[in-house]
Amino acid sequence: MSFKVDEVYMPLEGKTIKATNKDDIKPLSDLEYTNPLIETVETLFNEALGLLKKKNHDYTPKDDPISNFRLADTLGITSTERAIMVRLMDKITRIAVGLNKDYMVKDEKMKDNILDAINYLGILYYALEVDNNGKGKTSIDIDDTRNNTNDR
């Protein structure tokens, strides 16, 4: 996988830098700035990653980490990316409903839906950028995708 970012805004430095390789971007662990928001999100993302690893182990073979979503394409139902979007929208809907009323299913927790939504976004990124034969769709303009007549 090639490094495709041309410019990166570095908010802590307040400037945009040219990124010619991964070494130009500081890893999050190298940043000294923190506050309760950053600490909470870091904990949440680490928990989401742990959950993703467990679910991916349980749902897919190691050599095809999104085979469960690809099945929708294989069966002619919809594209892999749209199958991921359906699951993401399930989570977004559950979050929206949960903001307005308590869940009746006691095992259903807002945090679980947020963790799942974070992971579905990561899975979607993987499907678009990595799994797409190295063609990377995440840099495509939205207008380019609207003109694609091959979508189901």
pLDDT tens for each residue of 62-114: 999 999 999 999 999 999 999 999 999 999 999 999 999 888 888 889 999 99
User: Is the domain of 87 the same as that of 13?
Assistant: no
User: Is the domain of 19 the same as that of 62?
Assistant: no
User: Is the domain of 14 the same as that of 69?
Assistant: no
User: Is the domain of 63 the same as that of 4?
Assistant: no
Q: Would you state the pLDDT for residue 33? A: 80
User: Is the domain of 140 the same as that of 112?
Assistant: yes
User: SS3 of 10, please?
Assistant: strand
Q: Which residue is listed with tokens 């609207």?
A: 146
The DSSP symbol for 30 reads: G
User: Is the domain of 22 the same as that of 95?
Assistant: no
Which residues constitute the domain of residue 131?
34-146
User: Is the domain of 54 the same as that of 99?
Assistant: yes
Question: Is the confidence at residue 132, as pLDDT, over 80?
Answer: no
Does residue 1 sit within a domain? Answer: yes
User: Is the domain of 15 the same as that of 57?
Assistant: no
Q: Is 25 exposed, middle or buried (0-12, 13-18, 19+ CB in 10 A)?
A: middle
- Counting the structural domains of the chain, the total is 2
Question: Is the confidence at residue 119, as pLDDT, over 50?
Answer: yes
What's the whole-number mean pLDDT along residues 54-62? 94
User: Is the domain of 9 the same as that of 74?
Assistant: no
Q: Report which secondary-structure segment, H or E, holds 67.
A: helix 67-74
pLDDT tens across 19-46, in order?
556 565 555 555 678 899 999 999 999 9
